[in-house]
Amino acid sequence: MFPKQFPKQFPMHRPRRLRRTPALRRLAREHRVHPADLILPLFVREGLSQPQPISSMPGVVQHSSESLLRAVAQAAELGLGGVMLFGVPQQRDATGSAGLAEDGILNRSLREVRAEVGEQIVVMSDLCLDEFTDHGHCGVLDESGHVDNDATLDLYAQMAVAQAQAGAQILGPSGMMDGQVAVIRQALDAAGFNEVGVLAYAAKYASAFYGPFREAVDSQLTGDRRSYQMDAANRREAIREVELDLAEGADMVMVKPALGYLDIVADIAAMSPVPVAAYQISGEYSMIEAAAANGWIDRRSAIEESVLSIKRAGAESILTYWAAELATWLRD
């Protein structure tokens, strides 16, 4: 019997027609993740002779110099969009000088990686002081113990040039200092690195989900970063932050974290004239891994759905610790 609400003279639309088989669902799919959409964050720790597992991030390691090269070569072979390098030094000080040093772990690793893979994959570097300071903050501290924005910018400018000299093709300033993109852009151009791009962490929120990352970089932080990272309650403020970074010359903009901030990703994707990235952070990764390890969810399905949700929200590039594994699945 034809339902009364659908007169017989009109064909009834049935969305389920396009969901009936895997082939039909694939045909009608609105969004797809491609390996080139994915950026793999990688940690390299000074002094290691072999990779060291990160207990709070099952499957992720702090790399030795040798294992880092293998991981980057694999990422290139899989067709990933890029890799983002984070350095973990043996020695730290109040100004994060190891992050500027030519022979520091991050700059040394950038040179080695570029020598290994050349132009096969985009090599990116985290531009921040938190891994290198003995207090764990993203900038230098003033006499009262607060982050000194302008003094930090001077160090960011030096760090940008050092990373560009080492071979980084895109720099990722993640400290959320006011004016950081402009200062970095000016320093790069003045040093002749006008082709090096800036991926601005434009909307980086103070999040509870960074916890496992602290272990990954052996963070020395006590307290929090709420005085310079964004308040989780604020949505419109993210647009202002992005607009400022665009005006200062950002080539790409980033939202971090991703899953708890998909509304922010969508807002920025709707207004940004440059590519939008989102970072699926350590806590987001570890929650899914923990639930899967307990048998509460299907691991592969949850990973694929979580990354697809970031793509659907509007991110062109997604930083995820599953990038290499996802790329192998996408080949199936």
Catalytic center residues: 204, 256
8 Å CB contact between 279 and 227: no
88 three-state secondary structure: strand
8 Å CB contact between 130 and 137: yes
Kind and range of the H or E run holding 242: helix 236-247
8 Å CB contact between 216 and 269: no
8 Å CB contact between 175 and 228: yes
8 Å CB contact between 260 and 281: no
Kind and range of the H or E run holding 289: helix 282-293
Burial of 196 (0-12, 13-18, 19+ CB in 10 A): buried
d(CA 142, CA 136): 14
8 Å CB contact between 155 and 95: yes
Q: Which residues pair with 205 in a beta bridge?
A: 230
DSSP for 181-231, written as a single string = HHHHHHHHHHTT-TT-EEEEEEEEB--GGGHHHHHHTT----S--TTTSBP
Amino acid at 11: P
Q: How far apart are the first and last CA of the chain?
A: 44
Pairing of strands 52-53, 61-63: antiparallel
